[in-house]
Amino acid sequence: MRRWYGLDEVPRDWGRSVVTIGVFDGVHRGHQKVVGRAVELAAELGLPCVVITFDPHPDEVVRPGSHPPLLSSGARRPELLAELGTDAIMVVPFTLELSRMGPDEFVQSVLVDRLHAARVIVGEDFRFGHRAKGDVALLRELGEKYDFTAEGVPLVADGDTISSTAIRARLAEGAVEEAAHLLGRPHRVEGIVVRGHQRGRALGFPTANVESLPHTAVPADGVYAGYLVCDSERYPDVRWPAAISVGTNPTFEGVTRTVEAYALDRDDLDLYGEHVAVDFVSRIRGMVKFDSIEDLIAEMERDVARAREVTRV
Rg (CA), the chain: 22
Crossing angle for the helix pair 176-183 and 164-172, nearest 10 degrees?
Answer: 160
Residue 251: the pLDDT is 59
Q: What does pLDDT average to over the chain?
A: 91
Selected residue with higher pLDDT from 293 and 89: 89
Q: Which of 7, 17, 24, 39 is nearest to 79 (CA)?
A: 24
Residue type, 168: R
Strand order of the sheet with strand 88-93?
2-5, 88-93, 49-55, 17-21, 117-123, 149-153
Task: Kindly tell me if the per-residue pLDDT of 108 is higher than 60.
Answer: yes
Banded model confidence at residue 313, pLDDT cuts 50, 70, 90: low
Task: Categorize the per-residue pLDDT at 205 as very low, low, confident or very high, splitting at 50, 70 and 90.
Answer: confident
Say what the pTM is. 0.90
Q: Per residue in 19-48, pLDDT tens? A: 999 999 999 999 999 999 999 999 999 999
Q: What pLDDT does 296 receive?
A: 87
Locate the DSSP E strands across 208-268.
208-212, 222-230, 238-247, 258-263
Confidence of residue 295 (pLDDT cuts 50, 70, 90): confident
Distance CA 3, CA 25 (A): 17
Q: What is the pLDDT of residue 252?
A: 55
Q: Are strands 149-153 and 117-123 parallel, antiparallel or unpaired?
A: parallel
Q: What is the mean pLDDT of residues 82-89?
A: 96
* pLDDT band per the 50, 70, 90 thresholds, residue 253: low
Whether a cis peptide bond, with omega within 30° of 0, leads into 56 is yes
Using alpha carbons, select from 31, 144, 53 the residue that is nearest to residue 98. 53
